[in-house]
Structure 1
Amino acid sequence: MLQFDLLKTDPSSHARRGKLTLNHGVVQTPIFMPVGTYGTVKGVMPRSLHEMGAQIILGNTFHLWMRPGLDIMKGFGGLHQFEKWDKPILTDSGGFQVWSLGDMRKITEEGVTFASPVNGDKLFMSPEVSMQIQTILNSDIVMQLDECTPYETKGHLTTEAEARKSMEMSRRWAVRSKDEFARLENPNALFGIVQGGMFENLRQESLDALVEMDFPGYAIGGVSVGEPKEQMLQIMAHTPHRLPAHKPRYLMGVGTPEDLVQGVADGVDMFDCVMPTRNARNGTVFTRFGDLKLRNARHKNDPQPLDTSCTCHACAGTSGVSWDQGGREGFSRAYMHHLDRCGEMLGPMLTTIHNLHYYLNLMREVRESLDAGEFSQFRAQFKSDRARGV
């Protein structure tokens, strides 16, 4: 089941406000989706995800297939009951993880043969296998199996001919994914994935073919795979608004706060990225006023919270009142610096909570600005605040 209601559009850009209804709940868009690779968003309790406003999270088909395996997933009736998450879940197809195995895998028309990174077993992933795994996972949004077109291969930039070959196979795999999804009578929703590398004409061909197949929703893949930022922004500007207006649009694997706001302006409804959680574990914190590197010695004695305007548990404690509103219950930058230097587990847990809260709150503010007809003013203030620096 999928229903997408377009609630409002922004006259100054391609930005839009929507509501996505899925089998496990309603998602207000634009939205950022935290990544839960192994059935967990690293370091964050499901209750905390609820409290910070997460509406939908990701699961990783490839890794969950490896561990704990499909027999266990069948026993729990899918990923929701296994990880105790009662809201929507999106699963990727496994294509990106297979692509990232490099020389450990062999891609043919039929699918991908590779050695398990867990125990070395010889395994095979095809569009049909991906649909079968995701049906067992019972994710609300299922992704077609695609080949992620690299920006460069073995030291040379991917040519248009190479990108076309890859895109056309992804298109054929989309047909097979759709057929197998229907055969399995999966009650959830299947998204097609637009590929084509950095070539706008190939992106358009891929888009046109997928739209003709009439998927419930569409994703833009093959970005944030090593290309220069300018080329990623070029594809973001080209592709999303050309997809059907009455269906949700998902930009895969992107990105920074600036990328999200720009993506919304380009017509994207849904985002995911490991950046807020991965960077948190490495001591980098996103704030309203720029990025903060906790490992810098200048934070050693700083009594301020990570973000003076933030109401997350790390910044505001249990009061939910930000520093600049008089709240003084949060943890100081000095304490967070200390935890990072000592390798204490609490450090990355708190920075992860903060970064996800920041991303989710950013998208909430984007939705509110669209509701109020003030998105252009919001973008200007966002850029000004981020440029101010911490």
Structure 2
Amino acid sequence: MTQNQFSFEINAKIPDALGRAGIIHTPHGDIHTPNFVVVGTYAKVKFLEPQQFHNINAQVMISNGFHLSKIDDEIEKAGGLSKYSGYNCPTITDSGGFQVMSFGSGLGKVISMDKRNIAREQFKTDKKRHLSRVTDDGVYFKRNEKDDEKLFTPEYSMEFQHKIGADIIMAFDELTNIGDSREYNEEALDRTYSWAKRCLTEHKKLTKERVGKPYQGLFGVLQGAHYQDLREKAARDLGAMDFDGYGIGGAFEKEQLPNILFWVNSILPESKPRHLLGLSKPDDIFIGVENGCDTFDCVAPTREARHGKVYTLDGDINIRNAKFAEDPSPLFKGCECPTCKSQYTRGKINKLLKNKDGLKTEEEIIRDKQIAIELITTHNVHFIIKLTQEIRKSIIDGNFFDFRDKWLKRYYK
């Protein structure tokens, strides 16, 4: 592995904290950290064309390895995920573990629930539990009761991720449910460690075989739920292994996030990048950065755009509300995104979404709604990317905490 293939450098640190600003160098370009990774599940970000992707200074995209594994040969022939997607940027794929586990016990993301919601999610998961079987070899799963079982292994995860050709790939890990016992989390952590070793072995083998292909950074994924000793064990075990970086995941209540990140990032090698899986709320990003995370991903900015939610420095608004129907303002005054600099005001976007005149055809209604969603998506993704850029600048300038306090006070007033 050489400098121009994959590496990480630290440019500045937050005094008395784990946070830092840096650069992840990849074969398809640099990622300036902290940074928000845009989610393009099927190798394309919904309602965000490549030109707009670059217009809002997006630098990196993460895609769903499980879904793309079905067309990994096609992606490989196209020259890898960066070219295939059309975004021509650094790319990340996950291991496929979340989708496999979602047929069984794993929620696999950070969640914040009351007891009633936890019980409901647990009930839904229990009904699906019989569709997957976790073994030491891997996970046997089926999409529905009529399907035959398929074995999903760490080696297979490495195989299709190498074909897809993302700059950063994730090791196969076992996700646990927020309702799983301490004992089961211990078993799952042991399996994840074993699978991590198998992923590294297969990764090194495939890297040697694929001579001439750009180097792919392999990230180990840390689990351990909300248990301090298990999280620290995961950090020690995986931190001692030859990974290029680390992903931090798991199912736990959001309030536990600061502690979990501090536990693991106090132990993980400082010289390697860390990715926090599945979070993009501003307070979570600030917590993540302060406690040593470098990149973040989440579907929220694009998913919430499809429901009319617009991000602003004064808090989120729902542009579908009637009070915005005649509003001549941009989505957020002072925003430099392509949407806010265009002719589309709050009022115009409100009308595109609601279509109340009754004179348009079904095709026109669909088209107008798509235009509105594209506009909001562009704005929301730009908003979060700009936040991470400003956080980066605050670290380099030495005023991270002042910037954090002022920003959050205004946003969550």
The two structures share one fold, judged by TM-score above 0.5:
yes
Matches within 5 A, 1:201-220: 201-220=229-248
Distance 1:221 1:9 in 2: 24
Which amino acid counterpart does residue 62 of structure 1 have in structure 2? F
Matches within 5 A, 1:30-179: 30-66=34-70, 69-102=71-104, 103=128, 104-116=131-143, 120=147, 122-152=149-179, 158-179=180-201
Deviation at 1:36, TM superposition (A): 0.6
Instruction: Indicate the SS of the match to 2:12.
Output: strand
Matches within 5 A, 1:139-288: 139-152=166-179, 158-185=180-207, 187-222=215-250, 225=251, 227-288=252-313
Q: Among residues 6, 21, 24, which one is paired with 2:25 in the alignment? A: 21
Tell me if 1:334 matches 2:356: no
The answer (yes or no) to whether the contact 1:32–1:271 under 8 Å persists in 2 is yes
Tell me if 1:349 matches 2:374: yes
The answer (yes or no) to whether the contact 2:28–2:82 under 8 Å persists in 1 is no
Which amino acid counterpart does residue 141 of structure 1 have in structure 2? I
Distance 1:58 1:300 in 2: 35
Which amino acid counterpart does residue 22 of structure 2 have in structure 1? G
Distance 1:232 1:275 in 2: 18
Partner of 1:325: none
> What percentage of residue pairs aligned between the two structures are identical?
36
Which amino acid counterpart does residue 290 of structure 1 have in structure 2? G
Distance 1:112 1:315 in 2: 47
Moved over 4 A (4+): 119-122
Distance 1:28 1:51 in 2: 16
Instruction: Indicate the SS of the match to 1:14.
Output: coil
The answer (yes or no) to whether the contact 1:220–1:240 under 8 Å persists in 2 is no
The answer (yes or no) to whether the contact 1:143–1:190 under 8 Å persists in 2 is yes
The answer (yes or no) to whether the contact 1:12–1:376 under 8 Å persists in 2 is no
Deviation at 1:241, TM superposition (A): 3.5
The answer (yes or no) to whether the contact 2:66–2:95 under 8 Å persists in 1 is yes
Instruction: Indicate the SS of the match to 1:7.
Output: strand
TM-score by length of 2: 0.85
Distance 1:160 1:307 in 2: 46
Deviation at 1:387, TM superposition (A): 2.6
Deviation at 1:12, TM superposition (A): 4.3
Distance 1:255 1:87 in 2: 20
The answer (yes or no) to whether the contact 2:224–2:231 under 8 Å persists in 1 is yes
Distance 1:377 1:162 in 2: 42
Structure number with greater CO (CA < 8 Å, separation at least 6) is: 2
Distance 1:116 1:123 in 2: 9
Distance 2:409 2:324 in 1: 23
Structure 2: 5+ residue stretches without partners: 105-127, 356-365
Instruction: Indicate the SS of the match to 2:412.
Output: helix
The answer (yes or no) to whether the contact 2:76–2:165 under 8 Å persists in 1 is no
Structural RMSD (CA): 1.7
The answer (yes or no) to whether the contact 2:224–2:230 under 8 Å persists in 1 is yes
Which amino acid counterpart does residue 333 of structure 1 have in structure 2? R
